[in-house]
């Protein structure tokens, strides 16, 4: 993995061309709910009173995603908002503020952000959650690896209870917890 990013860190970043021209800024990150990937970005104008743009940016057109900007070849790579949104299985669904429940029925928290690995195709690797007492954590927020989601609705995300064994309290240690969880699930699948 490369340096992990929170989806909220990506919003408001400028979108610039390889030639250095500022085109827009990121308004929202669009996710493929089932595939666990970023599919694109909705955009807004760069001026103070600019609103949402009719064009959006598909992930496939992103040349680079860094701490300071998203880089694209040129403005020709932008697509209609509808085209980008149709690539998302969620189609308007938003996981932020959703409850996170285990398959055993325990409420472990509420999603406050999504953790993205900008390398490897912009995978969603986990969630930042505000934990409940049931999770047994004292931190204000913790990081939970993205598991095979059992169910998702506008109100709740249901995950296997075993994922709670891999919670981290910061992004630096979260990367290792994600690796450990993936190793466990792959070895379990191999045994089955």
114 inside domain: yes
pLDDT at position 188: 67
- Same domain membership, residue 120 and residue 57: no
Query: Where is the domain boundary, 29, 61, 86?
Result: 86
* CATH number of the domain where residue 73 is located: 2.30.30.240
Strand partners, 117: 123
pLDDT at position 123: 86
pLDDT at position 103: 92
Average pLDDT over the chain, rounded to whole? 85
Average pLDDT for 75-88: 84
183 inside domain: yes
- Same domain membership, residue 81 and residue 10: yes
93 inside domain: no
Confidence class for position 134, pLDDT limits 50, 70, 90: very high
92 inside domain: no
Is a pLDDT exceeding 80 seen at residue 143?
A: yes
Is a pLDDT exceeding 50 seen at residue 91?
A: no
Residue 125 and residue 1: Cα distance in Å, rounded? 10
What residue numbers bound the domain in which 184 lies?
99-191
- Same domain membership, residue 11 and residue 75: yes
Query: Where is the domain boundary, 60, 86, 112?
Result: 86
- Same domain membership, residue 141 and residue 67: no
- Same domain membership, residue 149 and residue 71: no
pLDDT in tens, 11-54: 989 999 999 999 999 998 888 766 678 889 999 987 665 677 88
Checking DSSP bridges between strand 70-72 and strand 14-17, what pairing results, if any? Answer: parallel
Per the structure, the count of domains in the chain is: 2
Query: Where is the domain boundary, 63, 86, 109?
Result: 86
**pTM of structure:** 0.82
- Same domain membership, residue 60 and residue 28: yes
């Amino acid at each position: 993995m490369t340096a992990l990013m929170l989806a909220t860190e990506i919003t408001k970043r400028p979108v610039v061309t390889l030639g250095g021209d500022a085109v827009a800024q990121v308004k929202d990150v669009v996710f493929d709910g089932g595939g666990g990937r970023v599919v694109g970005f909705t955009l807004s104008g760069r001026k103070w009173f600019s609103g949402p743009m009719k064009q959006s940016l598909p992930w496939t057109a992103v040349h680079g995603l860094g701490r300071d900007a998203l880089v694209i070849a040129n403005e020709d790579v932008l697509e209609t908002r509808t085209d980008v949104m149709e690539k998302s299985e969620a189609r308007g669904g938003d996981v932020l503020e959703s409850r996170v429940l285990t398959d055993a029925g325990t409420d472990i928290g509420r999603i406050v952000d999504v953790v993205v690995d900008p390398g490897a195709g912009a995978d969603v690797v986990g969630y930042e959650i505000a934990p409940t007492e049931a999770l047994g954590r004292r931190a204000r927020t913790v990081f939970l690896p993205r598991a095979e989601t059992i169910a998702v609705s506008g109100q709740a995300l249901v995950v296997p209870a075993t994922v709670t064994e891999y919670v981290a309290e910061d992004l630096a240690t979260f990367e290792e917890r994600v690796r450990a969880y993936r190793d466990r699930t792959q070895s379990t699948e191999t045994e089955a």
